[in-house]
Amino acid sequence: MSALEIIIGIFVIIVSLLIIAVVLLQQGRRAGINGAISGGADTFLSKNKARTVDAFLARWTKYIAIAFFVLAIIANIIALRG
């Protein structure tokens, strides 16, 4: 194994852990229904805050997923050359 393969492997592991964390931080699609059933009343400001955080996390999920696929392709190309 070359040093480049090890470095790319470390980046793949870090990016995969990041994508797991970002996906777990997102709220489920049914979170609003559960909050309404349990009696939790959302104010206008908390609804907007939740939407912006969810939008931020969704956006970063896309970026991290793209980075993961690019790194996986690069790692495969490097492995095939060696």
**How many domains in the chain?**
1
Neighbouring CB atoms inside 10 A of 32's CB total 14
pLDDT at 37: 57
Residue numbers of the domain that contains 17:
3-81
pLDDT at 27: 79
DSSP state letter for 41: P
**What is each CA distance from 7 to 11, 48, 70, in whole angstroms?**
6, 40, 14
What average pLDDT does the chain have? Answer: 82
Is residue 28 left, alpha or beta, with left meaning phi > 0 and alpha meaning psi from -120 to 50? beta
Across 4-26, average pLDDT? 94
**Tokens representing 61?**
């999920």
